[in-house]
Amino acid sequence: MRDWTTFVRSRLCLTGLTPNREARIVRELAVQLEDFYRDGLARGLSESDADGEACRQISDWDRLAEDVRLADRLHAASRFDRLADSLDVAASAERAGIRGGARMLSNVLRDARYSLRQLRQSPGFSIVAVLTLALGIGATTTMFSVVNSVILRPLPYPQPQELVSVVEILPRFGRFSVAPATFLDWRAQNSVFEHIVAYTGGNATFVDANGPDRVINAAVSWDMFELLRVTPALGRGFSAEEDAPGKANVIVLSHGMWQRRFGGDPGVLGRSISLNGAPFTIVGVMPAGFRFPSRQTEYWVPLALNPANATRGGHYLGAIARVKTGTSIEQADAEMRTISERLALQYPENSAKESSEVRSLQETVVGEVRPALLILLAAVGVVVLIACANVANLLLVRGFVRAREIAIRTALGAARRRLISQMLVESLMVSLIGGAVGLLLAYLAIGPVQTLSAGSIPRVDDVSIDGRVLAFSLLLSVLTGVLFGLAPAVYAGRVGILEVLKEGGRSSTGTGGRWTRSVLLVTEVALSIVLLVGATLLLRSFSHLTDVDPGFQPERALAFRVALPNAIYREEHQRVAFYERLLDQLEALPQVTAAGLVQALPMRGDYTLSFTVRGRPDPKPGDETSANHRSISPDYFKALGVPLLGGRAFTARDAEKAPMVAIVDQSFVDRYFPGEDPLGQGIDIGNGTDGFYEIVGVVGNVHHAGLARDPSPTMYVPFKQDVFSSVWILARTDGDPAQLTPLARQVVKSVDPGLPVFGLTPLATVVSDSLADRRFSLLLLALFAALAVFLAAVGLYGVVAYSVSQRTQEIGVRMAIGARRGHVLSMVLTEGMKLALIGVAIGLIGALALSGLMSKMLFRVTPGDPVSYVVTAAVLVAIAALACYIPALRATRVDPIVALRQG
Amino acid sequence: MFSSELKKGSTEMLVLSLLDARPRHGYEIGKLIEARSGGRLTFALPTLYPTLLRLETRGWIKGTWVEKAGQRERCFYRLTPKGRRVLADQRETWKAYVSAVNDVLGESGA
């Protein structure tokens, strides 16, 4: 009689059942077939006929397997099972006899279904693998969505590739704003642009029922909307006639201002409103989302340059253009350069050695942040690689555990190709689920990233998950799935049936597998070292930056802005009177210890003017000396906290009619009066029409252009001798500067009820805002590095722990023949640490090779900074030691008796 | 004899009712159906066995491996209390259905 159990087992391919369950079913079917056989014999059949009859009882084994599997499933099927069932097309397609491509699809679907069950059977593995990938893919998708929106997505205008920005190149300052007369010449002489327009940002006081408010505007050439090819949503843009002095009393509203201040009333066209005390007629409303030149721009008015008095010395215009169809940006650049150089020769007194540059507008908007963003994207890509290596390791370990299953299936005739594809489908399932979770993480992360990067990255408000991001994360998921699935799949294809079966499927760690896992682990450690070095370099740069003395005391001071409308404050003495009253009233407050004003805050950039020194020959054109210029009130230095090093501060007597005086800072003295006494020297600021300012004092250096730049030479003049209509007020207090906010509003209101207060900021925030972009890069890179190190540590732990579990018997033998616990501990530790140290060494070399890429992001730290490398290596070795120590400790607790009995 | 569609709906009830008297093993159930129906009803192993598993999964019957003297070890199925309730329900429904069908056939035949 045949062995019916073997007969059934060899024909019935049951998947997704527990081994016990499967055994029972096989046994029962065998028993019943044997019943049929014995029944046949009892009815007088020959042995072979009875055997044949019994065998014929089951003709379609696949179908039986399928029916059994379905019947066996719990009545209340889990959601997971229903998902798996929805993939059950495979079986039915096969039953229906479909072949070819459909059969391949049905195979893939069957593999997918099988994988889902496998994953459910080892939830620990599945959760770790999916979460690891979700972290990696999520972080990468977030970063890519930023890169996509900021760098890759074209500007939101038709034919954006034709848009360019045009700047002047000044011999001393490089790229610079455009002077009005130069712009008018460009416009008249060029043949490469369809349009070229100029614009300048400003702000104005707008009064409505809610009181006065400051709104940001832009004065633009009339054809700017046409250039950008954006038509107003309501009404019209400007006409050429309106772009002229005296005719420019028309205004186009932004969608936001129209909604906020006019309630979206379609009847606003033709309405007259008052801005800065002058009447304007509303002629149009731009569509939502149109924001140029800045996202805060609330309305536009014609620029109305006057050719009669346009100058070449005052550079304050931005210029953009659209190149004619068929003209390249390079051609445009060449022609504009020729024109500018001709103008430089024509007007040597103002424009000597000047040139121009035409760049794509996209490049101008995002060019500065591109390197940092790409470095971050690369960094996060490294995190994905580490995640892949980790999951590959997990799969490999699991592959060995499943080696017996694979060997048996191969022995039963499963094709290797099918096995490999089965393994790949399984890793793809893991990566796709990980990708889906990662996408969810990315979706949640975008908000915080926008908050974190506000002000340091252009266009960051537009960051969103669009089709390209979705495609990216899908591709990334598939790639990672193939990447980490490849090693186990190849291993599965190569697995030797005999070896596995001979070893009883227990300790099946071939040298090949161990080698692969070691390589993966070393790679992980090396990659995380690279990231960690990068983060450490940024961290040290950042800490050096925050250690920089800004030259003033940012704590306990409040800054805010007031701007006097020209229509009301026509004369200089009116403005001076306003400022004096405002400062007096502020200083009269018991909470305020000092109050001062200045036209431009520190940390926000230079405001430079050229000057000449009395008694020295005039410099040649193009070699003019220039320095930062600040117009200040007497108590400005007290309010800002800048020390007076010599001479005197300004007083109330340094007024319009009094002798002109100036104070310079130490770096000015070092540069222009080395070894001389600056006090009593005369400097002529600007274009030499006002005469010489006599230097009466010297103060400490202030960082005007940010902490990363050395303080540039600065000259201060009394505000009454150079009156600005828009100024910053600084108020110093003993307590919390935020408490001054309502007081500041009150004081301004009491001096002029029609004047808004804006830009209220603690001075300390001004300093920290200046570091926003560096903080953003640092935080993200640190986060990625932490993620990388964490993943590498988990990987290291996993490999060592697995190795310990495989060597339990060996360790038991060693301990039985007298090895001490300390010896076992060091043996296991050494094994893991050897890999970690190789990884650290390779990683340090890699970091040294790559860190040069980020030299622009560093401050007072060289890319090869030894401290960063040593600290990083030490941190990683410590973490690696911990990751190895836990399993090593477990190894020492192996009970020799138990271990040996297991053998 | 009968179409498989017709048989499908009643297999479970037949199995349950056979187990109502006493526990039986799979082969015995198949043979009993065949014998009691005078050979008009036969259920092949590939149909019957998944049915047994399904009923067991639902908790209506319970299989136990038993080795009787002189016999091979077999899996005997018995009705669970839940299965007994289900069988009672099914019998009621079946009777009602059959009488309704008879009524219809009787009317049209008359």
Report the pLDDT value the prediction gives residue A537, as an integer from 0 to 100: 93
Tell me the backbone φ, ψ of residue A600, rounded to 5 degrees. -145, 130
Does residue A501 contact residue A815 with C-beta atoms inside 8 Å?
Answer: no
In this predicted structure, which of A90-104, A618-632, A690-704 has the lowest mean pLDDT? Answer: A90-104
Does residue A158 contact residue A229 with C-beta atoms inside 8 Å?
Answer: yes
Contact B57 A70 (CB under 8 A): no
Interface confidence (ipTM) of the complex: 0.89
Chain A interface disruption, residue of B52, B54, B72, most A CBs within 10 A: B54
The tens digit of pLDDT for each residue in A164-184 reads 999 999 876 778 889 899 999
Q: Using the predicted structure, report yes or no on whether residue A94 has a pLDDT greater than 60.
A: no
* A42: confidence class by pLDDT, cuts 50, 70, 90: confident
The tens digit of pLDDT for each residue in A779-791 reads 888 989 998 998 8
Does residue A767 contact residue A554 with C-beta atoms inside 8 Å?
Answer: yes
Report the pLDDT value the prediction gives residue A519, as an integer from 0 to 100: 87
Give the highest mean pLDDT range of A111-115, A196-200, A785-789: A196-200
Residues in chain A closer than 8 A to B54 (CB atoms)? 70-72
Percent with pLDDT over 70 in chain B: 87
Which among A629, A635, A630, A631 is positioned nearest to A583, based on CA atoms? A635
Per DSSP (E only), the strands in A614-681 are 625-632, 644-647, 661-665
What region, left, alpha or beta, does residue A352 occupy, with left being phi > 0 and alpha being psi -120 to 50 degrees? beta
The tens digit of pLDDT for each residue in B27-60 reads 889 888 888 888 888 888 888 898 999 898 888 9
Position A790: which residue type?
A: F
Report the pLDDT value the prediction gives residue A897, as an integer from 0 to 100: 75
Contact A64 B73 (CB under 8 A): no
The CB density around residue A588, as the number of other CB atoms within 10 Å, is: 10
Which among A322, A311, A354 is positioned nearest to A175, based on CA atoms? A354
Report the pLDDT value the prediction gives residue A427, as an integer from 0 to 100: 85
Does residue A427 contact residue A482 with C-beta atoms inside 8 Å?
Answer: yes
The tens digit of pLDDT for each residue in A528-587 reads 999 999 999 999 999 999 899 999 999 999 999 988 887 788 888 999 999 999 999 999
Report the pLDDT value the prediction gives residue A777, as an integer from 0 to 100: 86
| A36: closest chain B residue by CA | B27
Measured torsion, CA atoms of residues A828, A834, A839, A842, in degrees rounded to the nearest 10:
180
Three-class SS of A730-771: EEEECCCHHHHHHHHHHHHHHHCCCCCCEEEEEHHHHHHHCC
**Chain B contact for A763 (CB, 8 A cutoff):** no
CA distance A81 to A92: 17
> Is the alpha carbon torsion for A628, A631, A634, A640 positive or negative?
negative
**Average pLDDT of every residue of chain A:** 85
Place of tokens 């040996």: A900
Option in A25, A34, A58 nearest B46 (CB): A58
Place of tokens 């250690």: A547
CA distance A190 to A481: 55
Report the pLDDT value the prediction gives residue A565, as an integer from 0 to 100: 82
Option in A34, A64, A72 nearest B46 (CB): A64
CA distance A68 to A808: 39
What predicted TM-score, i.e. pTM, was given to this entire model?
0.69
Percent with pLDDT over 90 in chain A: 40
User: Which 3 state secondary structure label does DSSP give B59?
Assistant: coil
Q: How do strand A355-360 and strand A163-170 relate by DSSP bridges?
A: antiparallel
Burial class (CB in 10 A: 0-12, 13-18, 19+), A777: buried
Report the pLDDT value the prediction gives residue A413, as an integer from 0 to 100: 65
**Chain B contact for A895 (CB, 8 A cutoff):** no
Which among A701, A646, A648 is positioned nearest to A677, based on CA atoms? A646
* A504: confidence class by pLDDT, cuts 50, 70, 90: very low
Going from the C-alpha of A219 to that of each of A202, A256, A318, the distances in angstroms are 7, 18, 10
Contact A71 B51 (CB under 8 A): yes
Does residue A631 contact residue A654 with C-beta atoms inside 8 Å?
Answer: no
Tokens of A802: 């697995």
* A75: confidence class by pLDDT, cuts 50, 70, 90: very low
Percent with pLDDT over 70 in chain A: 90
Does residue A851 contact residue A857 with C-beta atoms inside 8 Å?
Answer: no
Tokens of A736: 């919390």
Contact B49 A64 (CB under 8 A): yes
3-state helix, strand, coil in chain A (%, to 5): 55, 15, 30
> How many CB pairs (< 8 A) connect A and B?
56
Q: Mean pLDDT across the stretch A389-394?
A: 83
The tens digit of pLDDT for each residue in A558-575 reads 999 988 887 788 888 999
Report the pLDDT value the prediction gives residue A494, as an integer from 0 to 100: 65
Q: Of A369 and A284, which is predicted with more confidence?
A: A284
Tokens of A135: 């972290």
The CB density around residue B42, as the number of other CB atoms within 10 Å, is: 15
Q: Using the predicted structure, report yes or no on whether residue A620 has a pLDDT greater than 80.
A: no
Contact A74 B27 (CB under 8 A): no
Report the pLDDT value the prediction gives residue A505, as an integer from 0 to 100: 42
Contact A31 B74 (CB under 8 A): yes
What region, left, alpha or beta, does residue B24 occupy, with left being phi > 0 and alpha being psi -120 to 50 degrees? beta
Report the pLDDT value the prediction gives residue A484, as an integer from 0 to 100: 81
Position A406: which residue type?
A: I
Option in B27, B51, B53 nearest A32 (CB): B27
Interface of A with B in 61-80 (CB under 8 A): 63-64, 67-68, 70-75
Contact A25 B53 (CB under 8 A): yes
Report the pLDDT value the prediction gives residue A76, as an integer from 0 to 100: 37
Per DSSP (E only), the strands in A687-832 are 693-699, 714-718, 726-733, 758-762
Q: Using the predicted structure, report yes or no on whether residue A41 has a pLDDT greater than 70.
A: yes
Give the total residue count for chain A. Answer: 903
Tokens of A294: 């800045």
Contact B45 A32 (CB under 8 A): yes
Q: Mean pLDDT across the stretch A688-711?
A: 88
Position A359: which residue type?
A: R
In this predicted structure, which of A429-443, A475-489, A646-660 has the lowest mean pLDDT? Answer: A475-489
* A186: confidence class by pLDDT, cuts 50, 70, 90: very high
Place of tokens 């042995």: A47
**Who contacts A525 (Cβ-Cβ below 8 Å, separation ≥6)?**
A792, A796, A835, A836, A838, A839, A840, A842, A843, A876, A880
* A509: confidence class by pLDDT, cuts 50, 70, 90: very low
Residues in chain A closer than 8 A to B44 (CB atoms)? 57
Q: Using the predicted structure, report yes or no on whether residue A25 has a pLDDT greater than 80.
A: yes
Report the pLDDT value the prediction gives residue A368, as an integer from 0 to 100: 80
Q: Using the predicted structure, report yes or no on whether residue A85 has a pLDDT greater than 90.
A: no
User: Which 3 state secondary structure label does DSSP give A901?
Assistant: helix
Chain A interface disruption, residue of B8, B25, B27, B76, most A CBs within 10 A: B27
Report the pLDDT value the prediction gives residue A506, as an integer from 0 to 100: 45
Q: Mean pLDDT across the stretch A716-728?
A: 90
In this predicted structure, which of A62-76, A110-124, A728-742, B71-85 has the lowest mean pLDDT? Answer: A62-76
The CB density around residue A64, as the number of other CB atoms within 10 Å, is: 23
Contact B57 A72 (CB under 8 A): yes
Position A361: which residue type?
A: L
In chain B the domains, ranked by start, together with CATH numbers, are 4-101 (1.10.10.10)
Q: Using the predicted structure, report yes or no on whether residue A389 has a pLDDT greater than 90.
A: no
Q: Using the predicted structure, report yes or no on whether residue A83 has a pLDDT greater than 70.
A: no
**Who contacts A359 (Cβ-Cβ below 8 Å, separation ≥6)?**
A164, A165, A167, A329, A333, A367
What region, left, alpha or beta, does residue A614 occupy, with left being phi > 0 and alpha being psi -120 to 50 degrees? beta
Does residue A671 contact residue A713 with C-beta atoms inside 8 Å?
Answer: yes
Does residue A178 contact residue A503 with C-beta atoms inside 8 Å?
Answer: no
Report the pLDDT value the prediction gives residue A606, as an integer from 0 to 100: 80
Does residue A98 contact residue B81 with C-beta atoms inside 8 Å?
Answer: no
The tens digit of pLDDT for each residue in A807-830 reads 777 888 888 888 888 888 888 888
Report the pLDDT value the prediction gives residue A204, as an integer from 0 to 100: 83
Report the pLDDT value the prediction gives residue B3, as an integer from 0 to 100: 62
Option in A60, A64, A75 nearest B57 (CB): A75
Q: Using the predicted structure, report yes or no on whether residue A78 has a pLDDT greater than 50.
A: no
* A103: confidence class by pLDDT, cuts 50, 70, 90: low
Report the pLDDT value the prediction gives residue A456, as an integer from 0 to 100: 76
